[in-house]
Amino acid sequence: MRRLQTFFHESHSATPHPTMFSRSLVTRQLLRQTARPATTRLSAPPSLLLRRLLSDQTRQAIDKAVGSAPVVLFMKGTPETPQCGFSRASIQILGMQGVDPDKFAAFNVLEDPELRQGIKEYSDWPTIPQLYIDKEFVGGCDIIVSMHQSGELAKLLDEKRVLLKEEQQAAAAADGKEQ
């Protein structure tokens, strides 16, 4: 460390060079990193460490839930009574898209704290709701809204053949107006 400091002081005149600050900052950061004890360094990426915390039993239960229907939403509350605005928005978008109820499953994470934390570790996504289509993680509410607005969600749902047929959509819309 002493040699680096001496080098910077001897190689620069009294007028600081424009990159002198950035070089000394980089040097300090490098020195701090090498001065840390080895026990504080992670041997694996954080996402891999999180997956290790998820029990096999919880992972299997989530695998089963994700595979229970072509469209799966882990949410706060139920589709009939969402318990947060993001879950409500996600349900409304799936309804506007015309997702077939027979091809849809929702899981209330508020009923099971292990599921609530486990699903975040399973997907490596920090928020709820979480949407899975055909066993693949799509994203949270912000992603669902963005995909809905761009038309990507409609295209994906159509490709996966999880939408009601046009006649069924018309009948469902008529039922909704009568109530």
Q: Tell me the pLDDT of the chain (179 aa) as tens digits.
A: 443 333 334 444 444 444 333 444 444 444 444 444 444 444 555 555 444 578 889 999 999 999 999 999 999 999 999 999 999 999 999 999 999 999 999 999 999 999 999 999 999 999 999 999 999 999 999 999 999 999 999 999 999 999 998 656 566 566 665 55
Q: Give the pLDDT score at 26.
A: 44
Domain boundaries, the chain: 2-40, 46-178
Q: For residue 129, is the peptide bond before it cis, meaning its omega torsion is within 30 degrees of 0?
A: yes
The CATH homologous superfamily to which domain 46-178 belongs is Glutaredoxin (3.40.30.10)
How does DSSP assign 104-136, residue by residue?
EEEEEGGG-HHHHHHHHHHHT--SS-EEEETTE
Two structure tokens written together for 90: 């996600």
Dist. CA 52–CA 134, nearest whole Å:
24
pLDDT given at position 174:
64
pLDDT at position 54 is 80
Q: How many residues does the chain have?
A: 179
